[in-house]
Amino acid sequence: MSACPPAGYAAALAGLAPITVQRLRALLAHHSPEEAWAVVCGEQRPVGLMAAVLDDPARRRLFREAAARVDPAAVWARCCELGVTVLVHGRAEYPALLIDDPAPPAVLFAAGRLDLLDDRRVAVVGTRNATAAGRALARGLGEGLATAGVHVVSGLARGVDGWVHRGVRAAAGAGRPIGVVACGHDVIYPREHADLWHWVAAEGLLLSEVPPGTSPAPYRFPLRNRIVAALSELVVVVESRERGGSLITATAALDRGVPLMAVPGSPASRAAAGTNELIRDGAAPVLDVGDVLGALQLDHRLAGGRPIERRRPVGPQERPVLDALRQAPRTVEGLVLATGLSLVEVALRVARLEVDGWVVQSDGWFEALPSSGWGSPT
């Protein structure tokens, strides 16, 4: 094995399967990275909690076999090749936001601007299976927050996470993206977010607690969510089902005393079941980006900063159709039943609303988009 700096040993340790987050923190709390590597290789006796963990011969063998398959110098070289900084808990360069967290990452991998963590930050999260309206809401939030100079934290997942960062990219403001991912920096997941992934690393900050080459195992996503919450001043949930992964982020925020907000939705929509429950349990509702800026004490609406509605006003003929869609998403047939209009009348009026940007259609279902600067996904 070739020579390797301490950060390289820490990076290699973070990628060993038998070492959980808790074990890695315990190991590095009592040993330098070089000593910790010698411990897992069976070349040095552990102290503290890891002494009890490695008291089992089978577990010691498991650790040694895992370490034998990894060259810390190669892990370090890959981090350098990708421009990824390795941050170790307790060292000077480690983000101050996470030092006193209840479950701080022992090792953190960063590409981009760590100084963004010194500015205003809001997490926007939600379901991967976002509705068309949810995607538009997320994009509008991202654009509005970035325009106001707020950095937006999310997990770069499908659905809400991706759309909120698309909104940040479309904005002309100073707000930047902060992405926290559940895999290595060179393992893009999902693949369709490759452009976003590279843009976040280049223009914002991309973080992970696993080294390059690490695949996105299912158990890593809940771990990722706690970091999203810990890095944020405020967490906004756009859409979530009853047991959505974004509710894990919401719980992590509450555990850390981070304020929680949620976008309300129709009680008939499964996509809003989780967010409606959060609001019922005390989360503040979000109707537009001004509500989030107000919570940050950055609301400039009274100074003329409120987004201006640029869509053509809804005419009296289209109004009943839009009102019905604001109650719940519907098909054309459902709109006929809800409004009492004929099939032809509904088809013509919903088509005008769609052209003017008041509704969106997905798989035969129409949904209303909100007013005041949210916009439509493109």
If pLDDT is split at 50, 70 and 90, which confidence band does 53 have?
confident
> How high does pLDDT run on average in the chain?
89
At 223-237, the pLDDT tens digits run 999 999 999 999 999
Range 59-83 average pLDDT:
94
Strands 205-208 and 177-180: parallel
pLDDT bucket at 20, cuts 50 / 70 / 90 = confident
pLDDT of residue 374: 40
Q: What is the pLDDT of residues 361-378, one digit of tens each?
A: 877 888 887 654 444 343
Residue 332: pLDDT above 80?
yes
Which has more confidence, 246 or 362? 246
d(CA 60, CA 63): 5
The residue type of 158 is R
In tens, the pLDDT along 179-206 reads 999 999 999 999 999 999 999 999 999 9
Q: Which of 268-277, 306-315, 347-356 has the lowest mean pLDDT?
A: 306-315
What pLDDT, on a 0 to 100 scale, did the predictor assign at position 47? Answer: 82
User: Mind listing the domains of the chain with CATH numbers?
Assistant: 6-112 (no CATH), 119-182+217-303 (3.40.50.450), 319-368 (1.10.10.10)
Residue 302 in this model has a pLDDT that exceeds 60: no
Q: What is the pLDDT of residue 235?
A: 97
Residue 305 has pLDDT above 90, yes or no: no
Q: Which residue has the higher pLDDT, 325 or 301?
A: 325
Q: Residue 32 — pLDDT band, cuts 50, 70, 90?
A: very high
Please check whether residue 264 is in contact with residue 272, taking contact to mean a CB–CB distance below 8 angstroms: yes
Give 311 or 329, the one with higher predicted confidence. 329
Q: What is the pLDDT of residue 199?
A: 97
Reported as a pLDDT band with limits 50, 70 and 90, residue 50 is: confident
SS (H, E, C) the chain: CCCCCHHHHHHHHHCCCCCCHHHHHHHHHHCCHHHHHHHHCCCCCCCCHHHHHCCCHHHHHHHHHHHHCCCHHHHHHHHHHHCCEEEECCCCCCCHHHHCCCCCCCEEEEEECHHHHHCCEEEEECCCCCCHHHHHHHHHHHHHHHHCCCEEEECCCCCHHHHHHHHHHHCCCCCCEEEECCCCCCCCCCHHHHHHHHHHHHHCEEEECCCCCCCCCCCHHHHHHHHHHHCCCEEEECCCCCCCCHHHHHHHHHHCCCCEEECCCCCCCHHHHHHHHHHHCCCEECCCHHHHHHHCCCCCHHHCCCCCCCCCCCCCCCHHHHHHHHHCCECHHHHHHHHCCCHHHHHHHHHHHHHCCCEEEECCEEEECCCCCCCCCC
pLDDT for res 372: 43
Q: What pLDDT band is residue 90 in, cutting at 50, 70 and 90?
A: confident
Say what the pTM is: 0.80
Measured N-to-C along each axis, helices 220-230 and 246-255 cross at an angle, to the nearest 10 degrees, of: 50
| pLDDT, position 2 | 52
> What pLDDT shows up at residue 333?
93
